C-alpha cells in the first residue's frame, strides 16, 4: 500500500469516527431533557418511573462509550502535560505513538472481551432486574463492542498521525542540518 493510500484510509477512518461521534452527541440533548423531565415529575408531582431513570443511565453509557473515541478524534482529551508541553515536536510524536499503541491494545482487548459478554446478554434476552425497568438491556450492551471498536479505529488514526508527525519532524531536522552545513 502506498503512503497516499494509507493516508486516505486514515483520513476516512478519522472522518467516520467524527461523523459517528457527532451523531451520537445529539443524545446529550435527549439526556438533558429526560433528566429535567424526571426531576420535574419527581419533585412537582411526586411521580417516578424506573424505566425512565434507567433510560438516563443507558443514554449516559452510550455517550461515554462513543464519547471517548470522539473526544480523542477532536483532540479534546485530557492530558497531564507538565512535561509534554516542553517536549520537541519529535518527542511529542513519539509519546503520542506510544499512547496510541497502548490505546489500540486496550481497545482490542476490551472489544474481544465484550463480545462474549454481549452474546450472553443476547442469548438470555437480558432485561432490567427491576420491576418496571427497561426490558431490552441486551441492546444497550451492544454499544460495548461498538464503542471499543471506534476507540480501536481512532487509536489507529492517532498512531498514523504520530508516525506522520515523527517522520516530518525528522525531515525538517535533516533540512535544517543541511541548511546550516551549507553556510
pLDDT in tens, the chain (183 residues): 666 777 888 888 888 888 888 888 888 899 999 999 989 998 888 888 888 888 888 889 889 888 888 888 887 776 667 777 888 888 889 999 999 999 999 999 999 999 999 999 999 999 888 888 888 888 889 999 999 999 999 999 999 999 988 888 766 555 555 555 655
pTM of the model: 0.81
**Domain residue ranges in the chain:** 3-181
C-alpha cell at position 145 = 463492542
Structure confidence at residue 175 (pLDDT): 54
pLDDT at 87: 86
With CA atoms as reference, report the closest residue to 11 among 165, 170, 154.
Answer: 154
Q: What is the CA radius of gyration of the chain?
A: 22
| Dihedral over Cα of 162, 167, 168, 172: its sign | positive
Buried b (16+ CB within 10 A) or exposed e, 53-67: bbbeebbeebbebbb
150 contacts 17 by C-beta, under 8 angstroms: yes
Q: What is the rounded distance in angstroms from the CA atom of residue 145 to the CA atom of residue 67?
A: 14
Contact 84, 150 (CB under 8 A): no
How remote is the C-alpha of 62 from its chain's centroid? Answer: 11
Amino acid at each position: 500500500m502506498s503512503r497516499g493510500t494509507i493516508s486516505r484510509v486514515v483520513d476516512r477512518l478519522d472522518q467516520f469516527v467524527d461523523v459517528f461521534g457527532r451523531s451520537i452527541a445529539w443524545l446529550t440533548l435527549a439526556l438533558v431533557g429526560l433528566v429535567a423531565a424526571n426531576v420535574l415529575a419527581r419533585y412537582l408531582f411526586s411521580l417516578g418511573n424506573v424505566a425512565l431513570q434507567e433510560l438516563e443511565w443507558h443514554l449516559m453509557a452510550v455517550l461515554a462509550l462513543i464519547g471517548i473515541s470522539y473526544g480523542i478524534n477532536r483532540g479534546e482529551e485530557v492530558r497531564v502535560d507538565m512535561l509534554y508541553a516542553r517536549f520537541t515536536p519529535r518527542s511529542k510524536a513519539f509519546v503520542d505513538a506510544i499512547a496510541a499503541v497502548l490505546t489500540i491494545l486496550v481497545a482490542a482487548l476490551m472489544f474481544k472481551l465484550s463480545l462474549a459478554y454481549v452474546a450472553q446478554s443476547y442469548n438470555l434476552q437480558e432485561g432490567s432486574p427491576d420491576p418496571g425497568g427497561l426490558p431490552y438491556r441486551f441492546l444497550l450492551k451492544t454499544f460495548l463492542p461498538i464503542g471499543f471498536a471506534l476507540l480501536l479505529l481512532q487509536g489507529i488514526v492517532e498512531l498514523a498521525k504520530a508516525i506522520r508527525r515523527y517522520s516530518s519532524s525528522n525531515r525538517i531536522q535533516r533540512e535544517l542540518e543541511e541548511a546550516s552545513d551549507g553556510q
